């Protein structure tokens, strides 16, 4: 990670090195925090944050699941992001807001502990830096929707994702794919999943997966481009006969999938529709499509 100068910490721009917490921070022990991943892009009209409002909304939703009351208004956090980017002079990269229970209480009930909010940002290129990726169905399943509130972006949930990421580390696979407890396709460790059959894009329904903001953007772009978009359960066997597939995510953007469990999809590599959707997505985030400019928050 390449540090920047400042971190927004509980409302104050703080030196990167001084933005520290106590080792008895509740979230460090139990994962009692909620976070976001947002990107800022260098557009022809200056740096712009992609779908800032929706990310901050989701941070509040995730925090509410933990009874973590963020002691700031949503507008203050949006302004915090913009101020931080401006002061750090970061034109393109990644933004990480995090709300968490801090120091003061131990034990599983976090109520009464201090609540902290930080926003950091740093330069970050492609998360999966390949034209297309080879993926493997994980031996782990996506967290069960009755074990937690699975669509909240909570720190503790990410141990599930870390296990899947470790599973493919050092193998020929670039990323894992989670099935759910029913054996249906869920999502990647940090990405939503789409498969393509003919002219139709199919993606698992909301409920047990993260309601991805990139997923939503891609659905809008695909529909506007004349593709049929369907949200429905996908059986694991079905994906091998897909023409194409791709992952979506703030970090992963649109990443075409060339093969699953060593079985190439279609002709393998980047499928023609996936390639078009990826380009259309990049045009939107880089401010090149006027129809979607409302999704951008300009920094200056």
Ligand X SMILES: Cc1ncc(COP(=O)(O)O)c(C=O)c1O
So which residues are the catalytic ones? 153
Phi, psi values for residue 236, rounded to 5°: -55, -40
Cβ contacts of residue 237 below 8 Å, gap of 6+? none
Per DSSP, the three-state class of 46 is strand
Nearer to ligand X, 37 or 123 (CB): 37
Distance in Å, CB of 238 to ligand X, minimum? 20
- Binders of ligand X among residues 50 to 109 (CB under 6 A) are none
Closest contact distance (angstroms) between CB of 145 and ligand X is 13
Q: Based on CB atoms, which residue is closest to ligand X, 151 or 244?
A: 151
Q: Which two tokens stand for residue 62?
A: 């995730």
Q: Is 254 in the site for ligand X (CB under 6 A)?
A: no
Nearer to ligand X, 4 or 248 (CB): 248
What residues numbered 158-217 form the site for ligand X, per CB under 6 A?
161, 187, 190-192, 210, 212-215
Inter-residue contact 194 to 217 (CB < 8 Å): no
Angle at 121 between CA 120 and CA 122, to 5 degrees: 135
Rounded least distance, CB 13 to ligand X, Å: 25
190 or 271: CB nearest ligand X: 190
| Residue ranges in 234-253 that form contacts with ligand X under rule CB under 6 A | 248-250
Q: Which is nearer to ligand X, 33 or 212 (CB)?
A: 212
> Of 215 and 278, which CB lies nearer to ligand X in the complex structure?
215
Does residue 39 interact with ligand X by CB under 6 A? no
With CA atoms as reference, report the closest residue to 38 among 220, 253, 280, 256. 253
Report the C-alpha gap between 72 and 10 in whole angstroms. 9
Compute the distance between CA of residue 185 and CA of residue 116 in angstroms, rounded to an integer.
Answer: 35
Kindly state the number of chain residues that form the binding site for ligand X, as judged by CB under 6 A.
14
At residue 124, what are phi and psi to the nearest 5 degrees?
A: -150, 120
Q: How far is the CB of 32 from ligand X (least distance, A)?
A: 17
Q: Which residues contact 67 (CB under 8 A, 6 or more apart)?
A: 110, 111
96 secondary structure, DSSP code: E
User: How far apart are the C-alpha atoms of 291 and 219, rounded to whole Å?
Assistant: 15
Among 10, 28, 37, 156, binds ligand X (CB under 6 A): 37
Build a one-symbol-per-residue string for 129-148: x at contacts with ligand X by CB under 6 A, - elsewhere: --------------------
> How far apart are alpha carbons 249 and 190 in whole angstroms?
7
Residues pairing with 153 in the sheet: none
Question: How near is the Cβ of 253 to ligand X at its closest, in Å?
Answer: 9
Q: How far is the CB of 199 from ligand X (least distance, A)?
A: 23
Residues of this chain that bind ligand X (CB under 6 A): 37, 161, 187, 190-192, 210, 212-215, 248-250
């Amino acid at each position: 990670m390449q540090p920047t100068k400042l971190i927004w910490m509980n409302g104050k721009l703080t030196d990167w090195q001084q933005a520290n917490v106590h080792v008895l921070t509740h979230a460090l022990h139990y994962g009692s925090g909620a976070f976001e991943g947002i990107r800022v892009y260098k557009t022809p009209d200056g740096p712009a944050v992609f779908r800032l409002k929706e990310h901050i909304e989701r941070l509040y939703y995730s925090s509410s699941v933990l009874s973590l009351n963020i002691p700031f208004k949503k507008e203050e956090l949006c302004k915090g992001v913009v101020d931080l980017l401006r002061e750090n002079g970061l034109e393109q990269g990644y933004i990480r807001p995090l709300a968490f229970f801090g120091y003061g209480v131990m034990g599983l009930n976090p109520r009464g502990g201090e609540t902290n909010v930080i926003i950091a940002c740093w330069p970050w290129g492609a998360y999966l830096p390949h034209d297309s990726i080879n993926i493997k169905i994980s031996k782990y399943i996506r967290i069960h929707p009755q074990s937690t509130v699975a669509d909240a972006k909570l720190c503790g949930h990410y141990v599930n994702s870390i296990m899947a990421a470790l599973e493919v580390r050092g193998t020929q696979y670039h990323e894992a794919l989670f099935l759910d407890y029913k054996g249906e396709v869920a999502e990647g460790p940090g990405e939503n999943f789409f498969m393509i059959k003919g002219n139709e894009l199919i993606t698992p329904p909301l409920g047990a997966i993260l309601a991805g903001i990139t997923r939503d953007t891609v659905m809008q772009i695909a529909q506007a481009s004349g593709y049929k978009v369907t949200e429905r359960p996908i059986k694991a066997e079905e994906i091998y006969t897909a023409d194409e597939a791709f992952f979506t995510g703030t970090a992963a953007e649109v990443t075409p999938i060339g093969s699953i469990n060593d079985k190439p999809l279609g002709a393998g590599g980047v499928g023609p529709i996936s390639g078009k959707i990826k380009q259309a997505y990049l045009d939107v985030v880089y401010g090149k499509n006027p129809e979607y400019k409302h999704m951008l928050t300009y920094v200056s």
